Amino acid sequence: MKPARHRLAACALLFALSLHPIAHAQATSLEEQVYLALKANPGNGKVTFDRDKGLISIDQHTLGLDNIKKQIAQTQLEGQAAVDFAVKTIETLLKESRDLGKPRSWAEVKARILPTVSPSEYQKMAQCLPMGLRVARCFVVDNDNTRAFVTPKDMEAWGIKLPELQATAMENLQKISPTSQLRLNMDGDEVNLVISSQHDSYDSARILLPEVQSFIRKVLHGDALVAIPNRDFLIAWRIDNPRKRTLAERVVQDYQQQPHPLTYELFVVDDKGLRNATLVEAIGED
């Protein structure tokens, strides 16, 4: 699998990208400038714009620019450069989304099936399993620049069941997730934080791997709290870390500020695997 620096999920189009619509967009807003640029390209099809909500519609897809705007802010793009970045991102996503509509077999996609952690709303349309209060464990077909969520209809067409889908996804994720790529933050001679931030869209999903769970407990010398505030970040610390309340607060900030937010809830990795953390475990007693 080849990491993409600015990978966007093709399925986000299919699931109406804007979970947090932008209200009352101004006439000179980035949304309107992007809309006009998209509309000027006949190859994009029918493009419309809801100025009140700041939403762009292309064919059956409805897009909000929240994630793209966060990426623009991080890279400090301004003016026409910001517009060009947004347009290129959307047109790339559109192309692969349309290509994915062509017939595919299990043999064609098997090597590109991966697990992903997604907002729980995706369970309504994709093949997912509950994971937390705000997130679910889903499955995608990974492409060069985009990802397409696997649906029950896809599985029926491929002639596979959930156990095979899960096993295939986990095997593929393991191949691109050596524990040597996990970053260790030291406090003196001891590890106090374990971080995955490869920015390949699968950092959060790596906590699903038993090998990663075992490695985290080994280097932290005990049970750990794990946070996945956005798709491209995983961080773990000891469950008895005296600064865990501060760390939990930073997770909330990351969830609010970074692209592709997932959840501010925390998880525990113990000798039985992965589970939701209790409030006391997450921040301690007052």
pLDDT per residue as tens digits for the range 167-206: 999 999 999 999 999 999 999 899 999 999 999 999 999 9
The pLDDT assigned to 94 comes to 76
Strand 128-130, strand 135-142: pairing: antiparallel
Please say if the pLDDT value at position 278 is more than 60: yes
Does residue 96 sit in helix, strand or coil?
helix
**Which DSSP state fits 23?**
P
Amino acid at 105: S
pTM of the model: 0.73
Would you state the pLDDT for residue 265?
A: 96
Report which of 14, 6, 17, 23 is spatially closest to residue 63, judged by C-alpha positions.
17
Q: What is the mean pLDDT of the chain?
A: 85
Q: State mean pLDDT over 6-12.
A: 38
In this structure, how many other beta carbons lie within 10 angstroms of the beta carbon of residue 265?
Answer: 20
Q: Which of the listed ranges 25-39, 77-91, 233-247 does the model predict with the highest average pLDDT?
A: 233-247
Backbone conformation region of residue 79, classed left if phi is above 0, alpha if psi is from -120 to 50, else beta: left
Q: Helix, strand, or coil here: 201?
A: coil
- Angle made by CA atoms 231, 236, 237, in degrees to the nearest 5: 155
For the chain, the farthest-separated pair of C-alpha atoms sits apart, in whole angstroms, at: 60
Give the rounded distance of the alpha carbon of 262 from its chain centre.
Answer: 7
Q: Using alpha carbons, list the distances in angstroms from residue 2 to 200, 208, 216, 234.
A: 8, 20, 25, 20
Average pLDDT over residues 28-43: 87
DSSP characters for 103-145?
Answer: ---HHHHGGGEEEEEEEGGGGGTS-EEE-SSSEEEEEEEE-SS
Instruction: Give mean pLDDT, residues 91-105.
Output: 70
| Residue 3: predicted pLDDT | 44
Query: Is residue 235 a contact partner of residue 192, using CB atoms and an 8 Å limit?
Result: no
3-state secondary structure of 5: coil
What is the sign of the dihedral through the CA atoms of 32, 36, 37 and 39? positive
Give tens-digit pLDDT for 120-158. Answer: 999 988 999 999 899 999 999 998 777 888 999 899 999
